[in-house]
Structure 1
Amino acid sequence: MSFAISSMWAQHRFDDLRSLMQAIRALGFPSLEISRIVTLEQVADLQPGDIPIQSVHYPAPASPSPYGGPIDALLASPDGEKRRWAVAQGERCLRFAAEMGAQAVCIHLGTVEMPPHLEKALEQRFLGRQANSPIYAKLRDRIIAERARRQPRYFEAARRSLDELAEMAHRLGVRIGLESRRHYREIPLLEELVILLQEHDPQVVGFWYDVGHVQVLANLGFHRHQDWLDAVAHRIVGVHLHDVIGLHDHLLPGLGELDFAHIARYLPAAAVRTLELDWYYEEEELRAGLAHARATGCIPAQEPSIP
């Protein structure tokens, strides 16, 4: 049972990953997840064995997209040129993970393009305490219908991208985890994830359980959190651990509404576990979050030996 902290926390602190690793070791973390914003320049002189890397988050090590916008959205693009470019970034990510000895790559599988203001309006009504109102339900139903209408060609593109990436992952011996997403327009929803997992070898493709993302969409009324655990917990490859209050995620475990002891009961022993915490937390706060994750069984009760 391994665990790490995402380099997401290191924003505004460290440009050098070796210095970051020294700092997180002192906090009790034995390894690192390379977050999606780490660039090619930041890993240019990194050699295998320099630092313990548990997992890599696609598209790291990232290069700027010639198409604008998030790279991961392009994995579901119906535009073949854009999709192939995004797959090429994924192949580079997988090769980097294999070279560095990482166990898994976490992937965002793309987006169903639809007017983003619809979800924004729903979130604002949620924050305005209208979640039980008829107008809220009407808007949520409109979002569900709009996504369903647009979904087929984006889902098929995402499916094709995954097929291509899974082939390389199999050759390299690196597992892919498909992450549960923060926005309803993103891929995969639970029913889409079930389809994708059925199509792939469990030793190659699994579920990357982002506990905060699942809870945010549950709070908005799109699904029940427990449904994900019941349906796909047995396929969990990795987990992003962070807490949630309403729509605010990436909080320290123990500060919000999630029951981490309940979550821990569903995590396979081999699942890689990453605290994915926001950048503004101080080191002592990280120690407290780590202690809560350990006390609830989400990470090992005893610290492993650190080389």
Structure 2
Amino acid sequence: MTDKGEYSFSTCWNVKRHASGREMLEEIRSLGFRQAELNYNVTDEMLETIEPMIERGEVGVSSVHNTFPRIGDPDYGTDSALLGFDDEAKRKRAVELLVRSAEYADRYGAKAVVVHPGEVPFDGNIDERLKRLYEERGKDSEAYRALWREMLERRESLSGRYVRRIGQSLEEACDRIAAKGWNVALGIETRSRCYQIPTPMEAQQIVGRLKGAPVGLWYDFGHGMMMERMGLYDTAEDIEAVKDIVVGVHIHETVGLSDHWCPYVHSGDMDYFDRFLPIIAAAPVKVYELKSACKPEEIEESHNLLTGKLAAYSAKAGTYSAKAGMGEGK
């Protein structure tokens, strides 16, 4: 396997296959990755064998994924209200847990914490119902459109309230992180359910409110593709607006509404994913976040395709830059 250089790889791929943290990271290293993102399923027991590897320089940690390490409480899981809880005691606890994740990130030399900030609450999982209708009847069916309108009306009416509360929570966390002197960014991640926050534009709003704070957008491409297909936003339109606030990316592709597949390889589409190349090129932290079904040879093929396309993009961008420079000198 080729050396993957600046690219990192999430333990999302193999955390459920291992009891030993060392064996989990050795498998990731065998793919050619020198860095890993430690996700929210990594346990304290795993860290007992991971921390000596970090201390000896055997592996680097690019990022950790809140809530870290694993606490096993669904109230603070990846699909919860988290930083936007109406219950003030729960919201404060979520801020505490985020600061704890940042402490681990700083200890391990990671650049960022990936954060699922919250949601607009619904009775039941309306996203699951919508995805079922999408698969069974199609996006243009009346049943899908009617339920989508219902979801969107509630989401739009309440999102401002939860965006503000999430911003408040992030501000509190940043104040505490700054007081500790930790050099860690908080990346609020584009999400995989239509009622979850943030969309790219909501992220721009939150980051704009927290000017000067170490908060940016963590762009998850597979989630973005999924939300675009469902109708929540247009990734191509939003990319230009948010590219300067991106602190990290999760690299994976969605096939239909199934995510965490290898870009280009599993979809067979050699063009769609290209829209993300400018953000990948500029992102300070680049992490593959793939599902366990992705095989090592598929990961290698996907990485080679992606880096080849990025090289061509960079060469083209450099040509445009040079031409612009010559024009300015006239």
CA distance in structure 2 between the aligned counterparts of 1:122 and 1:292, rounded to whole angstroms: 33
From 27, 30, 40, give the equivalent of 1:26: 30
Find the counterpart in structure 2 of residue 271 from structure 1.
284
CA distance in structure 1 between the aligned counterparts of 2:229 and 2:99, rounded to whole angstroms: 35
Find the counterpart in structure 2 of residue 97 from structure 1.
105
Amino acid at match of 2:291: D
From 159, 162, 170, give the equivalent of 1:154: 162
Find the counterpart in structure 2 of residue 304 from structure 1.
none
Find the counterpart in structure 1 of residue 309 from structure 2.
296
Q: Deviations over 1:214-257 (max 9, x none)?
A: 11010011211112202101111111011111101101111225
Contact 1:57–1:105 under 8 Å retained in 2: yes
Amino acid at match of 2:25: M
Residues 35/135 of structure 1: CA separation in 2 closer, same or farther (3 Å cut): same
Find the counterpart in structure 2 of residue 239 from structure 1.
249
SS state at 2:146 partner: helix
1:38 aligns with 2:42: yes
1:173 aligns with 2:212: no
Amino acid at match of 1:5: F
SS state at 1:63 partner: coil
1:162, CA displacement in angstroms? Answer: 0.8
Find the counterpart in structure 1 of residue 18 from structure 2.
14
Most deviating of 109-118 and 224-233: 109-118
From 195, 200, 216, give the equivalent of 2:205: 195
Question: Superposition RMSD on alpha carbons, in Å?
Answer: 2.4
Residues 67/221 of structure 1: CA separation in 2 closer, same or farther (3 Å cut): closer
From 232, 255, 259, give the equivalent of 1:249: 259
From 108, 115, 123, give the equivalent of 2:131: 123
Residues 29/202 of structure 1: CA separation in 2 closer, same or farther (3 Å cut): farther
SS state at 1:178 partner: strand
CA distance in structure 2 between the aligned counterparts of 1:152 and 1:294, rounded to whole angstroms: 38
1:120, CA displacement in angstroms? Answer: 2.2
CA distance in structure 2 between the aligned counterparts of 1:148 and 1:226, rounded to whole angstroms: 21
Amino acid at match of 2:100: R
Structure whose alpha-carbon radius of gyration is higher: 2
Amino acid at match of 1:272: V
Unaligned runs of 5+ residues in structure 2 are: 315-330
Contact 1:78–1:153 under 8 Å retained in 2: no
CA distance in structure 1 between the aligned counterparts of 2:309 and 2:272, rounded to whole angstroms: 9
> Structure 1 runs of 4+ off > 6 angstroms?
none
Contact 1:4–1:54 under 8 Å retained in 2: yes
CA distance in structure 2 between the aligned counterparts of 1:68 and 1:229, rounded to whole angstroms: 30
Find the counterpart in structure 1 of residue 67 from structure 2.
59
Contact 1:114–1:150 under 8 Å retained in 2: no
Unaligned runs of 5+ residues in structure 1 are: 302-307
Amino acid at match of 2:162: Y
CA distance in structure 1 between the aligned counterparts of 2:302 and 2:235, rounded to whole angstroms: 22
Find the counterpart in structure 1 of residue 153 from structure 2.
145
SS state at 1:168 partner: helix
1:110 aligns with 2:118: yes
Amino acid at match of 1:287: E
Most deviating of 2-11 and 148-157: 148-157
Identity of matched residues, %: 27
Greater RCO, 1 or 2 (C-alpha within 8 Å, sep 6+): 1
CA distance in structure 2 between the aligned counterparts of 1:158 and 1:128, rounded to whole angstroms: 35
SS state at 2:33 partner: coil
Contact 2:80–2:118 under 8 Å retained in 1: yes
TM-score normalised to structure 1 length: 0.89
From 206, 209, 223, give the equivalent of 2:219: 209
